[in-house]
Amino acid sequence: MKKISRANLPHHTQDDMRSEYHFNYKNVRRNRFAGRIDQDRVVVVLDPDISEVFTTPEAVQTVFRALITTMPRPPQSKRHQKSSSTERPK
């Protein structure tokens, strides 16, 4: 392998962007975290101040479960209790 001197390379600052980029998609890897999440779970990103207090998933779940017990329950729907006397005439 041949070493390339930095003196021969064009000088680019951090603000310089090329007009076009070419990506080699042969080197692409799958998302390594994709298999770690169950389909029934929801991933939520916490703000930094909240994540300082709730440092584990168990801590967050405990607080949410306590909050759920204080919330009023929605009224039961009557969709499943359909009587035969409410049928439409033909």
pLDDT at 48: 94
Domain edges within the chain: 41-71
53: which DSSP letter? Answer: H
pLDDT at 4: 62
Indicate yes or no: pTM above 0.85: no
Look-up of token digits 């306590």: 66
Token pair recorded at residue 47: 């703000």
87: which DSSP letter? Answer: P
Local mean pLDDT, 10-residue blocks, the chain (90 residues): 62 74 84 74 89 93 94 78 52
Residues 37, 44 contacting (CB under 8 angstroms): no
Token pair recorded at residue 37: 């999440």
Residues 83, 75 contacting (CB under 8 angstroms): no
57: which DSSP letter? Answer: H
